[in-house]
Structure 1
């Protein structure tokens, strides 16, 4: 069994590859770090690092040990953090994000309620973009994100918002004069594409590969942000399905928004990494649910 100090020395040295910096970071002496590494190597029966007068490098055995040990140590840290939070009550810092203006308004209401319930917790608000929203969650840049569904690889909270889909088209477009359109028009006009950094299931839920009758959807150019999507629509490069809120939050003289009654609703919920779940996140999700219940269900992002 590795002691906690041994594991910290191993992982820190693997990252720094320098005994002096490792010692400084862990508030040890270089001699202490060296002795701990040698003790580990004797116990394992193999070198974990190759040392020269100019460099330090992991051996193959050392690299494998670090790779397998890292997630376990992170899990221990998370478990201890959750226990500390439970013992002290909820306090600290919470990083929350939102994708879309409607989700942003709901988030602000949730933050206000959260501030009343948990006055000792600081909240940092982040506006995510289409191209990086989910990466912010996966990387830990935000603790919880209010975003569009579906998405895999994260824990999904209760649905907060649901709204009808509209089709954004240029005002001079042949479809613009219609009262409503069917999803079948997506096979006749190029559809602006979401970036590949968005999870595939999320992209396909908004822009399917085929229409309900089986016709292939006509693919248009890609965009990384919602303003870019609207710019491409306005300049006639493509059409794009949006949530109903877009007509209210993004009214433009060069874009018309047409109802698509046969399209599935756009759904929104808070998501977070299961491994990072804390009492702070659970409390904020409760606040988001309460904010959504008092603000209606048709104001997504």
Structure 2
């Protein structure tokens, strides 16, 4: 029979398809991951992964085993958490995080509402960064995060209700040719390079902020890549490119060297929501999501 830690190693490698990253998530050595997988393959009697110097891929048997095991493990984790929560109620500690200034405002409203309803649960607030937000959900240092809903585009994450849907704007340098306009169409992205987001952001987020084509199918030129949102705005101010943002960016990041222009037409809104690790949907997380949904809207 498989032991729990062996299943965890297998499923983590099945997600990462990289021995080093799997070891980092599990906080064990790459060699330990490799030894565990070899042990499982001896037990199964067939390879679970195809390994080359360039890539790691699941075999058909490995894929079937991962598909069968993942929901069983998730169900076991949730059953244990529900039992613990039932014994404790909404008490103990809850670590909540936010990514961006507008998410921080939404979080504070939710925390206030949650604290009034559940005074026996101590809430700790953390600011996350784009490069570590998902990792902090996975390692348990943050139980729930309010952020752009596209950050939840990972198979092991879940998203709650949209707390805020804001119109999209385009950030351009104050001296840019577009700066004097009252509004712009998404089609202008074909005429100006767009600052690129960090490569460690989810693909759905990258595709949204750095589309390859406009709604009409025109290719969008790529600008320099930024390491953070502050760097993105600095590159915009320097005239190195433009960048799509939500309308609240103009409120929280006012700069004399940047103009924020409303986008019309086929410009989808930017949405903010709570997200969490699917296997960590505890009673405390559920109660916080409910409080966030029912908290008064931000002004």
SS at match of 1:126: strand
Question: Among residues 152, 159, 182, which one is paired with 1:179 in the alignment?
Answer: 182
Equivalent residues in 2 for 1:227-242, closer than 5 Å:
227-242=230-245
Alpha-carbon distance in structure 2 between the residues aligned to 1:59 and 1:277: 29
Unaligned runs of 5+ in 2: 9-34, 49-64
Question: Among residues 287, 291, 295, which one is paired with 2:297 in the alignment?
Answer: 295
SS at match of 1:295: coil
The Cα shift of 1:226 comes to 1.2
RMSD of aligned alpha carbons:
3.0
Which residue is equivalent to 1:272? Answer: 276
Which residue is equivalent to 1:282? Answer: 286
Question: Among residues 231, 256, 261, which one is paired with 1:258 in the alignment?
Answer: 261
The Cα shift of 1:196 comes to 1.5
Alpha-carbon distance in structure 1 between the residues aligned to 2:175 and 2:4: 64
TM-score, normalised on structure 2?
A: 0.74
Alpha-carbon distance in structure 2 between the residues aligned to 1:174 and 1:156: 39
Answering whether residue 110 of structure 2 is matched by residue 132 of structure 1, we say no
Which residue is equivalent to 2:18? Answer: none
The Cα shift of 1:205 comes to 2.2
Residues 11-30 of structure 1: CA deviation (Å, up to 9, x unaligned): 9xxxxxxxxxxxxxxxxxxx
TM-score, normalised on structure 1?
A: 0.73
Unaligned runs of 5+ in 1: 12-56
The Cα shift of 1:149 comes to 2.4
Which residue is equivalent to 1:122? Answer: 122
Instruction: From the CA coordinates, give the structure whose radius of gyration is larger.
Output: 1
Alpha-carbon distance in structure 1 between the residues aligned to 2:139 and 2:205: 18
Answering whether residue 93 of structure 2 is matched by residue 93 of structure 1, we say yes
Alpha-carbon distance in structure 1 between the residues aligned to 2:215 and 2:166: 20
SS at match of 1:178: coil
Q: Structure 2 vs 1, CA of residues 256 and 285 (structure 1 numbering), >3 Å: closer, same or farther?
A: same
Which residue is equivalent to 1:61? Answer: 39
Alpha-carbon distance in structure 2 between the residues aligned to 1:270 and 1:59: 35
